[in-house]
């Protein structure tokens, strides 16, 4: 992000999501905490087993390709690709 860029406003939500990885062979449940036009924050059981690129699958069937921008033990900051 550029020094003078304003981050996209985030909207707080609490919705179940699935993280899909390993070419669709693996999934993990998560809780969507907030979302913006550029990314999302997701709580998970253990973020250390999740690769750097995932698909975020929403309850309505829509999906976003994501890159992990921030990783904590039980939380991921995702950037939409």
Asked whether 21 and 50 are in contact (CB, 8 A), the reply is: yes
The domain 11-80 is placed in CATH, from the list 2.40.10.220, 3.90.1560.10, 1.10.10.10, 2.40.50.140, at 2.40.10.220
Q: pTM for this structure? A: 0.85
- Output the tens digit of pLDDT for each of the chain's 81 residues: 455 565 778 899 999 999 999 999 999 999 999 999 999 999 999 999 999 999 999 999 999 999 999 999 999 999 999
| Spatial separation of the C-alpha atoms in residues 34 and 36, rounded to whole Å | 7
| Spatial separation of the C-alpha atoms in residues 45 and 29, rounded to whole Å | 8
């Amino acid at each position: 992000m550029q020094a003078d860029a304003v981050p996209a406003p985030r909207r707080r939500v609490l919705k179940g999501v699935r993280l899909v990885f390993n070419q669709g062979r693996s999934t993990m449940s998560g809780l969507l905490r907030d979302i913006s036009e550029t990314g999302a924050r997701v709580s998970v059981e253990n973020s250390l087993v999740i690769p750097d690129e995932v698909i975020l699958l929403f309850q309505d069937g829509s999906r976003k390709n994501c890159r992990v921008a921030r990783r904590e033990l039980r939380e991921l900051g995702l950037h939409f690709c």
